[in-house]
Structure 1
Amino acid sequence: MKLFPSLQLHMPQIDLQEIMEHLRHNEERRTYPLWQEDDCLCFIARGREYRSEFHLNPSHEMQYSLKGDLHLHYRTPEGVEKVAVVPEGHCLYQPPMVPHSPRFAPDAFQLVIERKRRPGEVDRFHWFCPSCDNLLHEESFIVSDYGADPVSRAYDNFWGSLDFRTCKKCGTVMSDR
C-alpha cells in the first residue's frame, strides 16, 4: 500500500559545474534551462555585462550568485535607477514587476528561479535614453518556453531598429551595443 499515492518521484540531480563549463564554451547561448514545471522554472545564466534594458517579470524571482558578483540595476516606483550588489554565494529575492537589469561579468554565473508564466501573462523589456532617461522602447513577449531565450529576441528587435534606439524627447541615439 502506498502512503502517498499521488506523489511523483522525479528528482534529477544537476551538475551545476558541468553546466557552467558548457556555457563558458558556448558563445551562442548564455542561458541553460534546468527545468520548466507548471509553477517553477530554473535556469543558469552566464555573463550579462551587455544588458541595458529593464525586464518586468510577472512573477517573483530569486537570483543566486554561483560565481562572481551580480549588479542588479533596478528602478524604484518613482523611476529612479538604483543598483543592488549581490556577492558570490549570496541570493536576492525580487517581487514581481520590478523593472530590473541583471548585469554581471562574462565569467560570472547566476542561478535564477521564478514562476513559469501563467496564460496571458506578458514579460516586458524597457530601454531608457542614456541622456535624458526617457523611455525609448518597450518589447513585450508571452514567454511560454524560457528555452526560446526571450531576452535575446527582445534585444534583436531593439538593436535592429534605429527608430527604437532614437529618443523622441531629446533626439539621442543609443549606440549600437
Structure 2
Amino acid sequence: MMKMPEMPNLDLQAIVDELRSSARRTKQLWLNDDSLAFVARGREYRSEFHVNPSYEIQYSLIGDLHLHYRTPEGKEEVAVVPEGSCLYQPAMVPHSPRFGPDSFQLVIERSRKPGEVDQFNWYCPACDELLHTVTHTVDDYKVDPVSRAYEQMNASEEIRTCKSCGNVMPVIEMNQPKISGS
C-alpha cells in the first residue's frame, strides 16, 4: 500500500508572528525529496551573492524584496518584488535578497540533488572584484546555511581583504532584527 504524501497546510501569519517573537531569521516549512520551503525574516545585512543550483520562487509576504543579482556579464542589477508579488528566479543566478527587518519572504526551492553545492560570493565594495567564496551543501535550512556562510566570512580579516585594491570589508553583523518602532 502506498503511503499518503505529506501535505502541509501552514498558517503563514502564525509563522511570521513566531519569527517576530524569536531571534531566528528563518523557519523551514518543509523539506522533502522534491522541494524545500521556508519563511525568511529581514535580510538587511546581506551583501553576498548566493549561487543556487535550484530555481527559487520568492513571494513577498510582508514588505518589499530588493533582489540584487549579477548578469552573465557580472553587472549588478536590482529586481524589486513588492509586497504580495512573486518572483521566479532560475537556477545559478548569483543573487542577494535584501529586505528590511520587519519584512518576510516565503521561499520555495527544489531540494538539492546529491553532490550539488551552493556558493556564497562576496565582491569588494570598493572595486567589485571577487573577494571570497564560501561553499555549503544545503540539505536542511534548519541549520541556516546563510548564517554559517557569514560566520566563515566574518572569521578572518584576511579573507575580507581585497587582493586587488586592499580594501577591508567590515564584519557583517547579523544580530536580532530591529523592528521599526521597537
CA RMSD of superposed structures (Å): 1.1
Match of 2:26 in 1: 31
Structure 2 distance, partners of 1:162, 1:174, is 8
In the TM superposition, residue 144 of structure 1 has moved relative to its aligned partner by 1.7
Which of the residues 168, 176, 180 maps onto 1:173? Answer: 168
Deviation per CA, 1:59-90: give whole Å up to 9, x if none: 01100000000000000000000000000000
| Number of aligned positions between the proteins | 172
After TM superposition, the structure 1 = structure 2 runs for residues 1-177 of structure 1, keeping only pairs within 5 Å, are 6=2, 8-27=4-23, 29-177=24-172
Distance change >3 Å, CA 134–CA 39, structure 1 → 2: same
| CA distance in structure 2 between the aligned counterparts of 1:118 and 1:12, rounded to whole angstroms | 22
TM-score normalised according to structure 1 size: 0.94
Structure showing greater radius of gyration is 1
| Deviations, residues 102-160 of structure 1 (Å, cap 9, x unaligned) | 00000000000001111000000000000100000000011121211110000000011
In structure 2, C-alpha distance between the alignment counterparts of 1:6 and 1:76, rounded to whole Å = 45
What percent of counterpart residues are identical?
65
| SS class of match (2:18) | helix
Which whole-Å CA distance do the structure 2 matches of 1:42 and 1:49 have between them?
20
Q: Summarize deviations over 1:17-70 as a string: whole Å, max 9, x none.
A: 11101111212x200000001010000000000000000000011000000000
Cα distance, 1:7 vs structure 2: 6.5
- The alpha-carbon distance between structure 1 residues 82 and 171, as it changes in their structure 2 partners (threshold 3 A), is same
Unmatched segments (≥5 aa) in structure 1: none
Shift >4 Å, 4+ stretches: none
- Letter of the 2:134 partner, please give it: E
TM, length-normalised to structure 2: 0.92
**Residue 166 to residue 8, structure 1, CA distance change in 2 (3 Å):** same
Q: CA deviation at 1:164?
A: 1.0
C-alpha separation between the residues in 1 aligned to 2:8 and 2:164? 51
Secondary structure (helix, strand or coil) at the match of 2:79 reads: strand
Unaligned runs of 5+ in 2: 173-182
